[in-house]
């Protein structure tokens, strides 16, 4: 009898332990957004949007003579057209965009630069077929004069003087150039010249060059300089006459290739680089950047970019995206999540919103209209975790494609150990698969416990009958 009782107690203890352990198993809450259509079909991430349009048909796209080129939407960062835009090439005098960008960022236009012996010695190494301003040792010239000479005349000694003035040596300045390129986001650029000397290690790509030019026209007064038709450098202490500079860029200096929307760029040419050109255009508040390497000849590179610009403005639309337009959806989503967590020990501690500013798509697609949506299809909440962050995509939806344009980041934590009474709330979100599993396991264990009690009672009764029927008990 005593042995049976001990066995029963051990069985009960084991079963209760299993029940307690099972009750503490992690449960997960799964959110399903029934309003979000085909979450995995044609859903384009923010990273994928850079190149997504290249995979779409481009009817009527212009033929480009250049072997390497790109057309970039500066606002959204989407590449509209391009060939070998990540292949390293020699930029020639397009290098000067970076030199001038750094000068405009770091120097005052009124600063006076004195041509040092080291500068004059470096000028002597610039070959005769490279354009020069004719700077002399000891000559004093303002930063503004040197900048205009570098952009309008493509004067290599002026660009080198700026670089050495900022860096001390050309090599030290090239290190500054490369750091700036990295900061902008250039991944395939290495400068070894302040002015565009033709060397195998002074290289960039069409994509990187577009980023550099965009930085210049967006964050400095490069546009004002590049659009200037002519500029006069006054006489200096070493040069008794004025120097007249006329803009060599045909977007400005000619009628044939004049382009009303041009806001800045730079030409380039060496025997190894061929004819290069980068340019930015702005129309109706929208900026496009075009870059060509190794164009067929000096003139056609302008035609290449004009055709690309016109095609980009006609066939693609860039839409501004704002946080405000998503606020009603975000508020509704938070309400759904709070309802989902009502019967758990979790709560929403805080939330943050990050958004793209622009999204670019085809004009045909944009004309059909769009809507906004929040994708809850991948939301899973671990009810046993002390804290967790879930990132929920914010989407702009067109008829055949959905672009992720931002993220709602929600921080969820466990409540403090305070007894709370929370009324039941209805929710349209599907929940608690883990809770159902735990309930089924606990129910099964309780059933086993009941069966064990019945068996134990049956054994006790049987033992009593045996005891009562012993001969000794009948005397």
Is residue 427 over pLDDT 60? Answer: no
Q: What is the pLDDT of residues 334-349, one digit of tens each?
A: 999 999 999 899 999 9
Asked whether residue 216 is domain-assigned, the answer is yes
pLDDT of 475 above 90: no
| Tens-digit pLDDT profile for residues 196-233 | 999 999 999 999 999 999 999 999 999 999 999 999 99
Residue 215, φ and ψ in degrees, nearest 5 = -60, -40
Concatenated DSSP letters of 153-180: I--HHHHHHHHHHHHSSHHHHHHHHHHH
Using a pLDDT cut of 70, give the percent of the chain over it: 81
Confidence of residue 377 (pLDDT cuts 50, 70, 90): confident
Confidence of residue 373 (pLDDT cuts 50, 70, 90): very high
User: Is residue 375 in some structural domain?
Assistant: no
Q: Tell me, what's the pLDDT at 353?
A: 97
Residue 63, token pair as written in the block = 């033929």
Q: What is the average per-residue pLDDT within 81-95?
A: 98
Mean pLDDT to the nearest integer, 123-129:
93
Q: What global pTM score does this model have? A: 0.81
466 in any annotated domain:
no
Within-domain flag for 313: no
Contact in structure between 275 and 286 (CB atoms under 8 Å): no
Inside any domain, residue 131: yes
Secondary structure element (H or E) that encloses residue 321, with its range: none
105 in a structural domain: yes
Q: Are strands 274-283 and 286-295 parallel, antiparallel or unpaired?
A: antiparallel
The pLDDT assigned to 450 comes to 75
Query: Where in the sequence is the domain holding 186, given as residue range(s)?
Result: 66-295
Reply yes or no on whether the pLDDT at 9 is more than 80.
no
Q: DSSP letter for 235, please.
A: P
The total of structural domains in the chain comes to: 1
Which 8-state DSSP code applies to residue 149? Answer: I
As given in the structure block, the two tokens for residue 353 are: 């919103």
Quick check: 421 pLDDT over 90?
A: no
**236-285: per-residue pLDDT in tens?**
999 999 999 999 999 999 999 999 999 999 999 999 999 999 999 999 99
User: Has residue 125 been placed in a domain?
Assistant: yes
pLDDT tier for residue 22 given thresholds of 50, 70 and 90? very low
Confidence at residue 15, expressed as pLDDT on a 0 to 100 scale: 46
Inside any domain, residue 286: yes
- Mean of all residue pLDDT scores within the chain: 88
CATH of the domain at 169: 3.40.710.10
**Tell me, what's the pLDDT at 434?**
54
Q: 3-state SS of 396-449?
A: EECCCCEEEEEEEEEEEEECCCCCCCCCCCCCCCCCCHHHHHHHHHHHHHHHHH
Cα 337–chain centre separation: 28
Asked whether the predicted pLDDT for residue 48 surpasses 90, the reply is yes
């Amino acid at each position: 009898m005593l042995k049976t009782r001990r066995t029963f107690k051990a069985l009960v203890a084991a079963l209760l332990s299993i029940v307690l352990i099972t009750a503490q198993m992690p449960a997960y809450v799964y959110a399903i957004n029934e309003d979000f259509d085909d979450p995995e079909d044609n859903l384009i991430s923010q990273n994928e949007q850079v190149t997504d349009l290249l995979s779409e048909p481009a009817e009527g796209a212009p033929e480009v003579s250049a072997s390497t080129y790109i057309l970039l939407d500066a606002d959204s960062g989407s590449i509209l057209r391009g060939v070998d835009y990540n292949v390293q090439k020699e930029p020639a005098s397009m290098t000067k965009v970076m030199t001038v960008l750094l000068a405009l960022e770091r120097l005052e236009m009124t600063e006076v630069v004195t041509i040092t012996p080291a500068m004059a010695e470096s000028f002597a190494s610039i070959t005769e077929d490279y354009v020069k301003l004719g700077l002399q040792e000891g000559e004093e010239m303002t930063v503004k004069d040197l900048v205009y000479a570098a952009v309008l005349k493509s004067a290599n000694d002026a660009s080198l003087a700026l670089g050495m003035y900022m860096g001390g040596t050309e090599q030290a300045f090239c290190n500054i150039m490369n750091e700036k390129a990295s900061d902008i986001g250039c991944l395939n650029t290495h400068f070894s010249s302040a002015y565009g000397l033709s060397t195998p290690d002074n290289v960039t790509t069409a994509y990187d060059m577009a980023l550099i030019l965009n930085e210049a026209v967006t964050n400095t007064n490069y546009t004002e300089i590049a659009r200037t038709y002519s500029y006069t450098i006054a006489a200096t202490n070493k040069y008794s006459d004025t120097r007249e500079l006329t803009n060599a860029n045909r977007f400005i200096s000619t009628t044939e290739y004049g382009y009303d929307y041009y806001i800045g760029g730079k030409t380039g040419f060496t025997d190894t680089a061929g004819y290069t050109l980068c340019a930015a255009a702005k129309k109706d508040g929208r900026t496009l950047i075009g870059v060509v390497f190794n164009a067929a000849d000096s003139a056609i590179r302008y035609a290449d970019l004009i055709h690309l610009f016109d095609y980009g403005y006609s066939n693609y639309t860039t839409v501004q995206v704002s946080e405000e337009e998503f606020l009603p959806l975000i508020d509704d989503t938070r309400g759904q999540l709070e309802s989902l967590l009502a019967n758990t020990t979790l709560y929403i501690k805080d939330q943050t919103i990050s958004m793209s500013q622009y999204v670019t798509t085809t004009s045909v697609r944009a004309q059909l209209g769009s809507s906004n949506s929040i994708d809850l299809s991948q939301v899973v909440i671990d009810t046993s975790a002390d804290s967790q962050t879930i990132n929920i995509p914010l989407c702009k939806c067109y008829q055949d494609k959905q672009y992720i344009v931002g993220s709602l980041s929600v921080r969820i934590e466990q409540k403090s150990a305070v007894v709370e009474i929370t009324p039941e709330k209805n929710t349209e979100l599907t929940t608690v698969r883990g809770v159902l599993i735990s309930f089924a396991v606990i129910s099964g264990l309780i059933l086993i416990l009941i069966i064990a009690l019945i068996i134990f009672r049956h054994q006790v009764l049987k033992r009593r009958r045996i005891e009562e029927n012993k001969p000794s008990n009948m005397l």
